[in-house]
Amino acid sequence: MTEREQIKKIIDELPEYKIGNILLFLQGVKFDDDMEDDLFCEKLVDNYLNDPDPEKHETITLEELAKREGIEL
């Protein structure tokens, strides 16, 4: 039995009055994951903005990137 199946089995056996608490806990766990994703993205932006490389704003076309990577579009 997988961990997910074990969790579902336990939840199915809980009395109804405890389900609300479990729901709040699970929502908190999901919120933590979302927050971690947001923090990671913010760090990427900060790293980009604080990068002293003068060429960081230069761009190439999708076609150029594909050619550079050996991909045929």
Q: Say what the pLDDT of residue 26 is.
A: 87
Give the C-alpha separation, 59 to 61, whole Å. 7
Q: Say what the pLDDT of residue 31 is.
A: 78
pTM greater than 0.85: no
Burial state string for 17-41 with b = 16 or more CB within 10 A and e = fewer than 16: eeeeeeeeeeeeeeeeeeeeeeeee
Any residues with CB less than 8 A from the CB of 62 and at least 6 apart, and which?
73
Place of tokens 């994951």: 33
Q: What's the whole-number mean pLDDT along residues 9-19?
A: 94
Range of the structural domain that residue 27 is part of: 3-69
Place of tokens 């604080």: 50
Q: Say what the pLDDT of residue 12 is.
A: 95
Q: Say what the pLDDT of residue 28 is.
A: 84
Q: How many domains does the chain have?
A: 1
Tens-place pLDDT, residues 19-59: 999 998 888 887 777 888 888 999 999 999 999 999 888 99
